[in-house]
A = this chain, B = another copy of it.
Amino acid sequence: MAESRQPQDESTEQYPVSDRNRVRRRHDRGHYDHATVHQLLDAAALAHVAYVIDGQPFCAPTLFWREESRLYWHGSSASRMLRNLSDGERACLTVTHFDSLVLARSGYNHSADYRSVMAFGCARLLEDSEQKAHALAMMVDRFFPGRTASLRPASAQEIKATAVVWMEIEEASAKIRARGVVDDDEDYALPIYAERIPVRTVIGAPAPCARLRPGVARPESLSRYAAGELLEAALSDAWAQTFAERSIPS
């Protein structure tokens, strides 16, 4: 995992623990400090958001980002999810880094290593035009630092067609398993093969658009997105470049 570039006090601040976010099963895997929760969020581009319409739960994948203790995601103003969240519906945004499959000597001890965060709050549409303009820049710059300044400016129609949802994190928990093979003591004597199969999400060779104008080169700011790099390392770095230095401890 990329090293933390969060302000110092992140390591001691904690999200409140309630019935909602307390890690019950395997509670030794639970973490509530801002540093752990934020680091796992900022190392991801993809989240899954759970929301409810008429009693039916939906689980929708989305690109997202964090700024201080707010989460942001976006989509079309016409989407079902966004229409329903706009008036402050409860939601849960979850990020999971899948680290390995674990093969043990019994079926029961088969497992997986992972790092996940569940964040709870009320999702709302961003209405303030200044905040929306900032968010529309950040939804690009959070992944590709400084890129918005190099782009064709957004049209009024595009701004109107893009809905931005924000959610203040009220409660959050991180859950981490990083133990590999753990068998019952007596099972280690058995002649059974066991292993940890690591899994990682990596960047492939970037493919430039076939219709680039002559002389348009790849910006230096994208250099961390290189073939073979861990996606989470590139994302963590991009987040830190864009936000960390000017982040104000809340």
Contact = CB atoms under 8 A, between A and B. Distances in A.
Interface of A: 20, 24-26, 45-46, 48-52, 55-61, 63, 75-76, 78-80, 90-94, 96, 98, 101, 103, 105-108, 110, 112, 114, 116, 118, 120, 136-137, 139-140, 143-144, 147-148, 150-152, 154-155, 158, 161-162, 180-181, 183, 187-209, 211-213, 215-219, 222, 225, 231
Contacts of A136: 107
- A-B complex: 10 closest residue pairs judged by Cβ atoms: A198-B204, A50-B59, A50-B50, A50-B57, A48-B48, A59-B94, A194-B209, A61-B96, A108-B158, A181-B209
Given A56-B20, A198-B203, A200-B204, A107 B211 contact: no
Contacts of A198: 203-207
A82 to B, nearest CB: 9
Given A98-B46, A151-B105, A56 B120 contact: yes
A197 B208 contact: no
B75 A152 contact: no
A98 B45 contact: yes
Contact of A57 (B45, B90, B106, B154): B90
B61 A116 contact: yes
B200 A196 contact: no
A199 to B, nearest CB: 6
Contacts of A80: 24-25
Interface of A is mostly: mixed
Nearest to A196: B207
A222 B140 CA distance: 41
Nearest to A218: B193
A25 B206 contact: no
B57 A101 contact: no
